[in-house]
């Protein structure tokens, strides 16, 4: 057993790496093993990915007033300077960036996405890579973001809502069931599989406790099944990225080799291994696979009907009506759908499709938080800019005295970017920030 003493600011535990794991790494890395151990004795560096769906890197860094080092994996990834607490920053609530460790920024970039494509992120929570895919698609095409664990699917949905994705469908289904229903439906698929998490050891001591040879073997079996499902969802000629945040060959090269042997219509164009001693971040494996043939993704244009209450809201509160197809569900929820949807969508249990605009209650339209995060400030007729104590009070869920005239729904903004909404009435701004997002 080797003990690493982690820096006190980051961890209060002593990381104990299992001897069997260290023997594997010694064998795997050979002469580079001491460099790996040195890297593991360092504290991990925090990083963020600029959400280019909403803002450019230069504009965000100017608003944050920081000049961080680039991570070097993708152009929009930066190390977070010491002393900066990004998760509590109002621009985080505005969805302008996502905290994502550098090596986790690689897999989605390997999908080589083009606007308008249909993409499946099969194991998607908490949503870092789905958010990145949404940014590459720039609100065109379709992203189906799936997470089998229901509680984690809720987190995924919240992430995509905050980041302002307008073209995402969120599901919580078993990969085999989803991919059978949506066979051949995607130009690109990301299978960021659950794994033994050897690349998480510096950040999550629990991953060290959970590690065993048997766990590695169990993960490898599960990954093979996930990869089979992912392949089924891909159209002929499509791209598939398989990734993990672990180092064991069983879960990485061997999984891919077994898949390629069983699927002669697939080929591999690249395999990437990041380690904490060779690149920024915690470590990642990613393989880029291609399905032979030529085909088109099986998607269709959505249909909908005019919704009177939504149209009235647009006239009263929006500066323009969003161009998406509108769908009213029997429970009163109104969604603004992506440009393309899977043909089987109505037969799937979908948690969210596009943007939840709001809900019709007693014949009146009540807007949803997601609407204000999905559009820029200029999309709304009224906007209230808050800073300092008033902004903190809004984020804590309080009503705000407001000198701005008028009444009705207004976007609430920080540094020009919507973070939520409120209702102006009698010199007050009534707070409509969802309870689960309030910071006390």
Cβ(165)–Cβ(139) below 8 Å: yes
**CB 401 → ligand SAM: shortest distance, Å?**
39
**CB 177 → ligand SAM: shortest distance, Å?**
11
- Joined together, the tokens standing for residue 97 give 């960036």
Q: Which is nearer to ligand SAM, 70 or 126 (CB)?
A: 126
- Looking up tokens 């993708």, which residue turns up? 74
**CB 243 → ligand SAM: shortest distance, Å?**
8
- Joined together, the tokens standing for residue 404 give 């701005």
Cβ burial of 138 (10 Å; 0-12, 13-18, 19+) is middle
**CB 110 → ligand SAM: shortest distance, Å?**
13
- Binding residues vs ligand SAM (CB under 6 A): 104, 123-129, 147-149, 152, 175, 192, 194, 222, 226
Candidates 203, 214, 217; CA nearest to 245 is 203
179 is annotated as an active-site residue:
no
CA dist 121 and 147 (Å) reads 9
Candidates 289, 172, 177; CA nearest to 234 is 289
User: How many other C-beta atoms can be found within 10 angstroms of the C-beta atom of residue 361?
Assistant: 10
Q: Which residues pair with 383 in a beta bridge?
A: 411
**CB 125 → ligand SAM: shortest distance, Å?**
4
CA dist 4 and 281 (Å) reads 18
Cβ(222)–Cβ(176) below 8 Å: no
Q: Which is nearer to ligand SAM, 126 or 205 (CB)?
A: 126
The beta strands (E) that lie in 54-185 are given as 77-79, 97-99, 118-121, 142-146, 168-171
Q: Which is nearer to ligand SAM, 256 or 326 (CB)?
A: 256
Q: Which of 123, 195, 245, 402 is catalytic?
A: 245
User: How many other C-beta atoms can be found within 10 angstroms of the C-beta atom of residue 271?
Assistant: 14
Query: DSSP 3-state assignment of 176?
Result: helix
Q: Which is nearer to ligand SAM, 59 or 99 (CB)?
A: 99
**Which residue in the shown chain puts its C-beta closest to ligand SAM?**
123
CA dist 324 and 110 (Å) reads 29
Q: Which is nearer to ligand SAM, 147 or 187 (CB)?
A: 147
**CB 152 → ligand SAM: shortest distance, Å?**
5
Q: Which is nearer to ligand SAM, 189 or 357 (CB)?
A: 189
CA dist 342 and 294 (Å) reads 19
List, by residue number, the catalytic residues: 245
């Amino acid at each position: 057993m080797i003990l690493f003493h982690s820096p006190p600011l980051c961890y209060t535990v002593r990381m104990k790496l299992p001897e069997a794991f260290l023997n594997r790494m010694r064998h795997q890395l050979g002469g580079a093993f001491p460099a790996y151990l040195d890297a593991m004795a360092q504290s991990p560096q925090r990083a963020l990915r600029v959400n280019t769906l909403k803002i450019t890197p230069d504009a965000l860094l100017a608003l944050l007033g920081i000049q961080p080092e680039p991570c070097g994996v993708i152009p929009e990834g930066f190390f977070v300077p010491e002393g900066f607490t990004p998760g509590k920053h109002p621009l985080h609530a505005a969805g302008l960036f996502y905290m994502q460790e550098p090596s986790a920024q690689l897999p989605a970039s390997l999908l080589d996405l083009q606007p308008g494509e249909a993409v499946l992120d099969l194991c998607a929570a908490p949503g870092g890579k789905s958010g990145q895919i949404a940014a590459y698609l720039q609100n065109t095409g379709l992203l189906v973001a799936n997470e089998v664990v229901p509680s984690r699917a809720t987190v995924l949905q919240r992430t995509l809502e905050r980041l302002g994705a307008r073209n995402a469908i969120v599901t919580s289904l078993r990969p085999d069931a989803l991919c059978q229903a949506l066979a051949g439906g995607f130009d690109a698929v990301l299978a960021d599989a659950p794994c033994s998490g050897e690349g998480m050891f510096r950040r999550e001591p629990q991953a060290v406790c959970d590690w065993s040879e048997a766990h590695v073997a169990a993960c490898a079996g599960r990954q093979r099944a996930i990869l089979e499902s992912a392949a089924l969802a891909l159209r002929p000629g499509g791209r598939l990225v398989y990734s993990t945040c672990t180092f064991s060959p069983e879960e990485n090269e061997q999984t891919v080799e077994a898949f390629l042997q069983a699927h002669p219509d697939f080929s591999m164009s690249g395999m990437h291994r990041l380690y904490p001693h060779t690149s920024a971040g915690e470590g990642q494996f990613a393989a880029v696979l291609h399905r032979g043939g030529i085909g088109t993704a099986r998607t269709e244009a959505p249909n909908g009907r005019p919704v009177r209450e939504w149209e009235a809201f647009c006239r009263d509160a929006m500066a323009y009506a969003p161009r998406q197809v509108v769908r009213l569900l029997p429970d009163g929820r109104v969604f603004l759908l992506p440009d393309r949807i899977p043909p089987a969508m109505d037969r799937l249990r979908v948690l969210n499709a596009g943007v939840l605009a709001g809900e019709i209650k007693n014949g009146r339209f009540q807007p949803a938080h997601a609407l204000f995060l999905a559009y820029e400030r200029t999309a709304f007729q009224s906007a209230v800019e808050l800073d300092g104590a008033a902004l903190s009070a809004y984020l804590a869920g309080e009503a705000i005295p407001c000198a701005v005239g008028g009444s009705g729904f207004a976007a609430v903004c920080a540094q020009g970017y919507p973070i939520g909404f409120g209702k102006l009435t009698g010199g007050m701004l009534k707070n409509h920030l969802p309870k689960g997002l309030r910071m006390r």
